[in-house]
Structure formats: structure tokens, C-alpha cells
Amino acid sequence: MNPVHFYKMSGCGNDFIIIDNRRSVIEESALTAFIVGICRRKMSVGADGVILIENSDTVDFRWRFYNSDGSVAEMCGNGARCVARFAYLNGITGPELAFETLAGIVSASVSETGMVKIKMTDPVNLEHDRRIILTSGKYAVGSVNTGVPHVVMVVEDIQRTPVKEMGREIRFHPDFAPAGTNANFVALQPDNIVAIRTYERGVEDETLACGTGCVASALIVSHKFALPSPVTLLTRSDGYLRIFFTAHQDTFSDVYMEGDARLIYRAELCEEAWHDGYTG
């Protein structure tokens, strides 16, 4: 491959490499190794995921979203905000846009300040007070698919919660096999702000933020504590996301997420950026 132009962007601390692939600049045969290679921290650019913008026959564009391990994810809220601003900054769209994801069509509105508001797909498979058994005991959790599957556990001390250990156990729990799930831990703070920490499937570690996890947590917590829309969440990066929704008896609709989409830098990837991960 020739050098590949890209943007490095961050949504609330969740960072992405975004590439305009409408002219097929990425070789499909080397795609997985390419993604894993460039997502390596310290050895390459480093990122939680890679987003490819491609042509769409129905809306402004479609995306392909990949976790840092090369696996495909249907949806990523923080990534959606970043790709929307990327498209706007590069003249691919105007400030109001829509794009295809595996979870459905996502619409977005980009402001001049760098804030982006996106309309999420309607949540499905919502369960409250679901019982699961972990090595440390029995727990009641909420679960919902907000584009990707999430489990939400309310905890008393968000700082001392062993997110990586419990998160990994929930992520690979047989109750959520074979696809697995993301795991979110939340605690209600003063002024009804919800502190959140997330173990992300595909990254296989705690991340600084997870957009779809914030949506899932806002919906579960709003039901549990009777919080009205919008719900504000404080992520591990100390950034805030606001989740808007319409609540019904058994589900939610008109779900929106609002937060930042920071442009970190623009550059080009040279072959050495992914060479060690290249397998031919």
C-alpha cells in the first residue's frame, strides 16, 4: 500500500484512526493485520479502533468500524461522533448528515465548536434486574443492546470497583455467549450525574469512555432511579456525555447522544506503521 492519509480523533477519551476509503486505498487482503498493526500503542499510532469511510447508495456514506483487535463492531457512539465531524471537516457532508452502520442508519448534527449530537438506533433486548453469578457472588444487572450488547451494574464505590477483572468475567460470561458483551459499572453522584467505567469487548480492557455504554447506562439508571432526560455521564477521561431519550413503559425511543469529537492530528501512515503486524 502507498502511504495512507488519516485523522486521529478522540471522543471523550475513546480514540480512533479515521480513513477515507471511498477510493479503496486499503488492501482488503491485509486489512486485519493493518488494523491490528496501526492500533498498537507506542509501536504505531495507537487507537481503540479504526473507522473506514466508504461509499453508500442510500445516505451520505457508510462506515466500517473495527476494534483494535481487528474484530468488527456494529456500532460505537464515540466513534460515530468522530466520523461525523471528520466527514464535515473534509467536505464529504454538510453539518447535518446520515451514514450506514451494521446497527442501522445513524444521523448526526455537527456544531462549529466540535460538539456532535447523534441519533442512536432504538435500543433492543432491554432487561432490568437480570441475575448473574460471578466468582465474587450474585449480582443484579441491567442489559440492553444499544447497537452492541451491554451489561450495566450499579456499584457503590466506582473508584474501587475491579473493572478489568469483573468486566472480563462478564464479557466472557456464558449467559452472554457466543457474542459476549461489554460491561459497564456506574454510580450515582451528586446532582444526579452518573459516573461510569467500561470494559470494552474487542479492546479487551477498560477504556476512557464508551459511547454506546453511556447510552445503555443512562437508560438503565434512568429506570432504576427515575432520572429524567437528559442523563449526564462522567466518563473515565473526565469528559461528559449527555443522553437524551423518550421513556416508555417497557422501552425507550428517540435516543440521542451529545459530546465532543476532537481532532488530535492529521498525518499519513507509512508501511512501517503496520509492518510488524503484516502477515501477507
Q: Which pLDDT score is estimated for 279? A: 45
Q: Is there a contact between 186 and 234 (Cβ–Cβ < 8 Å)?
A: no
What total of structural domains would you count in the chain? 2
Give the torsion sign (CA, 265, 270, 271, 276): negative
Same domain, 139 and 61: no
Q: Which residue segment(s) compose the domain that 181 sits in?
A: 124-257
Instruction: Please tell me the number of Cα atoms within 13 Å of 223 on its side-chain side.
Output: 22
Question: Residue 250 belongs to a domain with what CATH number?
Answer: 3.10.310.10
Domain membership of residue 158 (yes or no) is yes
Nearest to 148 by CA among 72, 52, 237, 256: 72
Same domain, 51 and 97: yes
Q: What's the Cα-to-Cα distance from 77 to each of 63, 101, 273, rounded to whole Å? A: 13, 11, 26
**Active-site residue, 210 included:** yes
Q: Is there a contact between 85 and 115 (Cβ–Cβ < 8 Å)?
A: no
Q: Which pLDDT score is estimated for 250? A: 83
Q: Is there a contact between 264 and 41 (Cβ–Cβ < 8 Å)?
A: no
Domain membership of residue 140 (yes or no) is yes
Same domain, 135 and 181: yes
Same domain, 98 and 198: no
Q: Which of 12, 39, 82, 210 is catalytic?
A: 210
Global confidence as pTM:
0.89
Domain membership of residue 65 (yes or no) is yes
Same domain, 65 and 177: no
What cell numbers appear for 152 in the block? 450495566
Same domain, 35 and 151: no
Same domain, 240 and 128: yes
Q: Which pLDDT score is estimated for 276? A: 65
Same domain, 50 and 160: no
Same domain, 97 and 132: no
Q: Which of 12, 39, 76, 214 is catalytic?
A: 76
Domain membership of residue 119 (yes or no) is no
Q: Which pLDDT score is estimated for 252? A: 95
Same domain, 132 and 231: yes
Same domain, 139 and 207: yes
Mean pLDDT by 10 residues, the chain (280 residues): 92 96 93 95 94 98 96 93 98 98 95 95 94 96 96 97 98 96 97 97 93 96 96 96 94 96 96 67
Same domain, 92 and 17: yes
